[in-house]
Structure 1
Amino acid sequence: MENKDYLEEARQFGYVQNNEIWLKPFMNYPTRKVGEVKEVEEESLQYFAYRFEMFREKVNALLKKIEESENKGSFLMKVMHLKEQVEKYDALGDFEAIYNQLSQAENEIKASISRNRDKNLNAKVALITEAEELQDSIDWKGTTEKLKELRQNWIKTGPVDKAIADEIEERFRNAVETFFTRKKEFYEDKQSLVNRTIDKYRDLIAKAEAIQNSEDWDVATAKLKEYQTAWKQVGGNLPRKTTNDLWNRFRKANNHFFERLKNRITQTKTESKEKYFEDNLAKKRALVEEAEGLVNVEVQKAVPRAKELQAAWKTVGPVKGEESDRLWERFIIACDKVFELSSLEHYLRKRNMGAKIAPNEQVTARVNALKDFIKSDRQELEVLETNLGKLADTPGNETFRNMLQSKIRGFNRKIKTKQELIDLIKNKQVAGNE
C-alpha cells in the first residue's frame, strides 16, 4: 500500500484534534485517542494507518492457520485475545470488519469444539461399555492388559461437556476398580495356599541344613536322597522366583555335603587348573606383545595379522584374576590401533593425502584426520551419554541401559586409541627429525 493510500485510510477512520490522533467510533466503541502528532500531521496519520495494516496482517495470518488446521479448538484463545485488542489497539483502520471476521472465526471454532465433544462422548461411552463388560472377567492377565489399554485410550480421548464429565468419569473408574478389587481378593486367597506350600519346602530345607556337616556319610547320604524325593512330591504352583530361591537353599545344603565327600579329588583338580591358567596366561601375554608391536608393521601386513591374532585369542582358555581384564584391554586396544591406522590410510588415500606429500605434511594430515575422528566420536559419545541420562531407572529399561553403557565404553576406548595414535605419530616425527 502506498503512502497516499495509508493517508486516505487514516482520514477515513480517524482525525486530528488538538495535535492528538483520534479513532472514530465504530460498533459500540466510542471515539478514543490512539496517539499524538509527532512532527507532521500526515506522517503521523500514515503511521497509525500502517499499524492497523500490521494488525490486519496478523489477524489474516491467524485465520489462515485456523483454516488449514485440523485442531481448530487450539486457536480459540488466540482469536478471543485478538478480539480484545480491537478495543484498545492504537491504530487507524476498519476495526469493525476485523471484529466481525474474528467473531465469525470464534463461532466456527466453538461449533467445532462442540462437535468434537459429542464425538468424544460417543468414544468414552464405548470405552465405558467395554470396561463394564470386562469387570466380571476371571482372565486376570488378559483383562488387566485390556483394561490398561482402555485407560490409555480414555486418557487420549478429548474432553466432553463439563456437565456430564464427572458422571462418565466415575462410571469408567468404577468398572475398572471393580475388576482390580476382585483380582486382588483372588490373589490374596491364592497366597494363603502358596504359604502352606512354602512351609513344606522350608521344613525340608531345615532338615537338609541340619545334616550338611555330618560325618556319618552313609546315613546322611540316605537321608538327603530321601529329602530330595520328598521335595519332588510337594508340588504346588509357586512363583518362579520363589521356587528358585527355595530350591537354591535346599540344593546348597545338599551340595555342601557332597562336596565334602569329594574334597580330595577337588583339590587335585584345583592344582591341575592352576597349571592350566598359568599356561593360558603365558599364551595371552605373547599375543598381546605381538599385537602391540603391529603398529610398527606396514598396515597391509598388520591388518591380516591382527585378525589372525584375534582368532588365536579365542582358542586360548581363561585366565584367573584381574590380569585377565588387563590383558584383554591391552589386546583389544592394540588391535584397534591397527584397524584405526588402516581406516586412516584409506581416508587419506581417498583425499590424495598419502605418500605424494612431504613427510611433515603427512604427519599433520594424519594428526588432523585423527582429531576429526575424535571429534566425531565425542559427538556420538555425547549423544549416548545424554540418552543414558534421560533413561528412566526402571527394570524394563535395563537391557537398553546395558547396551548404551557398552557403546559408551566402546567410544571411550576408540577416543583413547586415537589419542594414543596421535601421540605415537608425533613421537615418530620427533625421532625422525633428530
Structure 2
Amino acid sequence: MSSDPWGRVDETGTVYVRTADGEQVVGSWQAGTPEEALAYFERKYEGLVVEIGLLEKRVKTTDLSAKDAQAAIEHIRHQVDEHHAVGDLAALAKRLDELTGTVEARREERKVQKAKQTDEARAAKEALVTEAEELAASEQWRSAGERLRALVDTWKGLPRLDRKSDDELWHRFSHARSAFSKRRKAHFAALDAQREQARQTKERLVAEAESLSGSTDWGATAARYRELMADWKAAGRAQREHEDDLWNRFRGAQDVFFAARSGVFAERDAEQTENLKLKEELAAEAEKLVPVTDLKAARSAFRSINERWEAIGHVPRDARPKVEGRMHSVERAIQDAEETEWRRTNPEARARAAGLTGQLQEAVDKLQKQIDTARAAGNDAKADKLARELEGRQALLDQALKGLEEFGG
C-alpha cells in the first residue's frame, strides 16, 4: 500500500483522496505500481490547478462573459466534487468559490455599466430626436439637410435600447426627417415653377428687346428698354442653365440699339457744338446794337441776325439757356426803345399830357391868388390850409411837366 498527505492506494489498487469529510474514492489503478497511481492522480490535480489559474486570469484580464466563466467554473467544480484527483481539493473548491464571487461581482458591475450606457444612449437619442424635430421646421435647406444626415450617422453609432423605446424614438426621428424632406421638396418644386415662369417671361422680354434693336426712334425705344429692364428684374431668376443665355441675348439686343444711338448722337453732338459756336458769334454781333441809338437801324440789323440764327439749328441742351438769353436781352432792349419812341411820338398821348398840364397850371395859379387874398385879409389859417393844398397840386404839375418833356416838351 502507498500513501501521501492527500491520498493513498490500498492493496486492491483503489485510490483514495483525503478530505475534511474523510477519505473519498478517486478511482481504481491496476496498470502499475501504487506510486504510479498516486502520481497519475496528482498530475490530474495539478492540471486542475493550472486550469483554475488560467480561468482566474481570463476573468480578470479579458472580457469573458459571466455566463461562459460560470460554465467553466462549473466544469472544473464537477471534477473537484467528483474527487477525480489527489490533492487539496478543498483549496480548489475555495478558489472556485472566490472566482464565482468575482464573476458575480463582474456581472453586477457590467449590469450597472450597461444600465448606465443604456441611460446615456437613451439621452443621446432623445437629444437627436429633439434636434431633428427642430430642424424639421428649418428653411436653411442645405445646412439643415447636412445636419440631419450627420444625426443619422450619430444614431447608427449609438447602442440599441429596448425594442419598444428604440422603435418609438426612431419613429419620431424618422418622422422629423420625412417632414423636412417633404417641405424641402415642396419648396424646390415651387422654386422650379417660379423659375420656369421667369424663363417664359424673360423669353418674351428677349424677343421684344431683339425686335427693338434696329429701331431709330431713339427716345421712345430707349424708354421702352428701361421698362423692359425693370420687368426683367421683377421677373426673378430663371433656371441656371437658361439664365445666362437669356441675359446675354437681352443685353446684346440693347447693346446693338444703344451703340447705334451713340453713333448718331455723337454726330449730332458734333453738329450742335458747331451750331453753338455760330450762335455765340451772332449773339456777340447782336449785343453790339445796345445801347440803341438808331432804332430803325437796330431793328433791321436784329431782324437780319435773327434770320441767320433761326437757320442754324439746335445747340447742346445745357448751353441753350445761356446763348438764347443773350439774344433775348438784346431783343428786350430794342423793344424798350420802341416803347419809349412810341410814347414820345404818340399825338393823342401828347395832347392828353398837355391838357392835364394846363389844367394843373390853372389850379396852381388860382390857389396862389386865393392865398395872396387871404394873407392880405389877415386870414392866415385859411392861407396856411390853401398853401398845403397848393403843395399837392404843385407836385402833380411837376410830374405832368416831366411826362410832357418825354414827348418833346
Same fold (TM over 0.5): no
TM-score range, shorter chain: 0.3 to 0.5
Please report the TM-score for the alignment, with normalisation by the length of structure 1: 0.41
Please report the TM-score for the alignment, with normalisation by the length of structure 2: 0.43
